[in-house]
Structure 1
Amino acid sequence: MCFVDGQTTRAGCKRPLMLAVREHEHHRAAAERAKRTNMSAVAGALVMYVAPAPPGQDEPVNAVPLAAASPRRSREAPDWIPKVLLPQLRLCADLTVTFIDEKAVTKSDLDPQQNRLRLRTDGVRRLLPLLTDDEAAAANLLYDQPRVRRASPMTPPEDDDAVQGRKGMKRLGRKHGGLPMHVVASSNLSIEIKQLELSRWDGSQGTVIKGAGYHDFIGKCGFREDDLVEIWAFKQREFRNFGVNMCDESPLYIVLVNKQTRRAAAARGVAVAGPAA
């Protein structure tokens, strides 16, 4: 480059650089017009029609919020589930781990009188596709049940399988058991596994995780009121290829990840306790 009459020029050329740039842009624009003319000639009488934008949608692109313009990313399961838990359980490493829900632990979830962890309705909807009809029926989830109405609004809410009698005596309701499954929970020192049941109650229509030893299991895992817990689920189905059993059937696994202790439960030499009866 050199300077001629106060303007930058290309070496060996007397024309200013800006003039050369403008000539280049002029030639490129002419080429674009010729290209469009040729395309119109080929199309003949075909006229392109662009539909007008619906009312209220004629804003410029930069007016759309970034969160609305970009698709939402799906949640990724904690690393220790595929890297540590699945190999310990001898399940396929590429088994799909499904996000079920995220909830805050409530006082009733820790109450030994309730002896259950309640699942929210949205979480149950995400869990159902993992179950067969027989499994959903075992959990009392196959059909919608009519909600039981109470005679008096002063009657305490039903939160277990027992129905309050007129004289304060407990009258046992229908026993429908539940779907046996394994619940996995991460604690500060290890990963605990407990065999429990998934069931929906007839009266309150609440879907719960319950069973003998539930309260001791939750206490051992260090859950506290208001802890934010992610709930994940997976189940391996039997798969046979030309008569050869490639994958065995597994129980349904529900994983409770306490986000307050998630870092401590990361997969670094963490111990995995076997399923308790």
Structure 2
Amino acid sequence: MVSDIDSSEGAPLMSGSITNVVLVHGGFVDGSGWARLYHLLTADGFRVSVVQHPTISLAGDVAATREVLDAQDGPTILVGHSYGGVVVSESGTHDKVAALVYVAAFAPDKGESVNTLIADPPPGAPVPPILPPVNGFLFLDRDKFHASFAGDLPADEAAFMADSQLPWGVDALGGAVTEPAWRSKPSYYLVATDDRMIPPPAQRAMAQRAGAQVVEVPGSHSVYVSRPEAVAELIKKAAQAG
């Protein structure tokens, strides 16, 4: 099911809703990008935890996420952006995870990794400006970061993100999912319709395969930064359904 999301007014947190949310960032960035979403959710009564995983290997990032999940005091909504979708797909089988929310994210099936999902891009899709690996790590071309990753953010904010990139380990891109959580947990997916990192058609295909409830929002790959209210509304929907 695909729908537009009206985020002009935040829906109040309903009695009985899930209140724990764990946020998992993607590649090239860290957990600080969730700040606006964090403040929106906590103002509405959610208890929000942000995973600061190193993006060196999928196994390490899953372990870091599971440690945060272990600390939750009840059912939890697990949210992943970009590569974070791989992490939540693998770690979301944790017994405290009630639902998954993918934000312009990879949603791999069993045996799939970022590498396999990007191996056959749709015809005409933009090519992310990823530089050749250095010592096993990847960066985005700083001069092309704004246009490719954060096109709907102010230039100075995009420049900061480009200059504060978290090196993305080549091993993390090759990490394959063993048992995707979306096969056993409800899932929700926010498609960023102006994304130039993960093509929107690929996002829609992954969401459909996962049986996710889908919303589409105009936004770049940094939609979690530029449109935090839309992400918050989808998380609230997942929390209320749980």
Q: Does the alignment reach a TM-score above 0.5?
A: no
Q: TM-score, normalised by structure 2?
A: 0.24
Which one has a larger percent strand, Structure 1 or Structure 2?
Answer: 1
- TM-score, normalization: structure 1? 0.22
Q: Who wins on radius of gyration, i.e. which is larger?
A: 1
